[in-house]
Structure 1
Amino acid sequence: MIRPELFHPLISHFPIGLLGSYPIALLLAFRWRTQMVATSRFLLYAGILGVFVSLYLGDMALEKILPSLCDIPRAYRHEDQAYYLMYTSILLVLIDVGEMAQKIKEKLAHSLKFLFALVLVFFLYRSGHTGAELVYEYGAAVQPVQSCVK
């Protein structure tokens, strides 16, 4: 059986891939509008759903690893970056809904979405980087097999 704290890294790579591809889809939508709008929306909505699941699983993992973690503030920084990522994703969804409801002009909405997609990628990078530091520098959730321990 997989340890509960390992579900977070297992699932969190899906929204990284989806949301990391979102700005590329937006760029392509400048040229091929009709084909790429649905793709970019799928990447955004599926990605934000994955972020919600990752945040839930991250809280579950944090409960398990907190007693053994030597740099607790770093774990909370990772969580904060993930929340900023979620807030930026929600803002992008609101802009997209405003565009679909014709409350925001198409060109303005597209420019705002691309700008905030870059902010989203920044928080995606920061969250991923702090998460990787937790694992690779501080050994969060690492339990070596007994035959490998010296």
Structure 2
Amino acid sequence: MKKLTLPALIILCLFTAACSKRNCCVPPVIAPYIGADKNSVKWTAEATAEKQGTDTLLIVGSQTEERLIMRLKFTGKGTYTLQNTQAFYFTTIGGDVFTSRYNVDNTAASTLTVTNYDEATKLVSGTYSLTLKKEYPNPSSAYPETVKFANGMFHVYLPK
């Protein structure tokens, strides 16, 4: 009987340790992110999502003196075509004085594709491609006529 007690105790300890709850089995939280190749240069910003009205979602990329805002009637996964002021980009001085503003160039395709939407965590992920044309200052050679965001990716949490 003494010979069976030690192996039984070891097996009991192994089962108890194997069944304990661990953080290793919990998927990691995905950090909000937005980035793209802006005029062929890597661009990243702080990503947030905001509600506008009852059914409009704003996906915002913010740097110190730059903002990219994409606005859509969010209905879940799918591809959204952005036109006019549904996407715009602007630069500032001091965060409050506008130095340039760009809206969607309707002669080029600008899209946002929601590839993943998790209703439980409210995480929205996807890709985007934008061609924006200068609206302000016009004319000014200090700013390019167009700003192109290619290979864009984002992960944001919907507001509750």
TM range (shorter): under 0.3
Greater relative contact order: 1 or 2 (C-alpha under 8 angstroms, separation 6 or more)? 1
Select the structure of larger CA radius of gyration. Answer: 2
Q: TM-score, normalised by structure 1?
A: 0.24
Richer in helix (by share): 1
Q: TM-score, normalised by structure 2?
A: 0.23
